[in-house]
Amino acid sequence: AGDIDMGHARALLSLDRAAQITAGNQIAAKKLSVREAEALVKRIGADFSLVPQKPKKEKSRDLKRVEEELSDLLMADVEVRVKKRVKRAGRVEDMGELAIQFGSLDALNGLIDRLRRH
């Protein structure tokens, strides 16, 4: 009685601490389902803008060009994400990740074949 489970808690993660407590109390008191809790959290976030949005950095022209070239080469949507800058041997270098999207396992297998050929 008055408990919330993992699904409820997961829904609360997008809110700041004070809003988490308030929403958590409402969820427990009203015995809301996980879906109802998600809807409540969405309303709270939208109504009060409790979830600060990070401004997205505009990608450099060079980075966009690399994404386009890789997309053409792999015949798949590609995104390059620069995550952090590190200092190595007196130089600052960017580190990140490469995300390649695929729509099915067949598409993934085709992508793997194209990578092996290059």
* Tens digits of residue pLDDT in 65-117: 999 999 999 989 999 998 877 788 888 888 899 999 998 999 999 999 988 98
Query: Can you spell out the DSSP letters for 74-93?
Result: HTS-EEEEEEEEEEETTEEE
- pTM over cut 0.85: no
Return the higher-pLDDT residue of 67 and 58.
67
Segment 33-56 shows an average pLDDT of 75
The answer to whether residue 1 scores a pLDDT higher than 80 is no
Q: What's the confidence (pLDDT) of residue 50? A: 46
In the DSSP assignment, the letter for residue 30 is: H
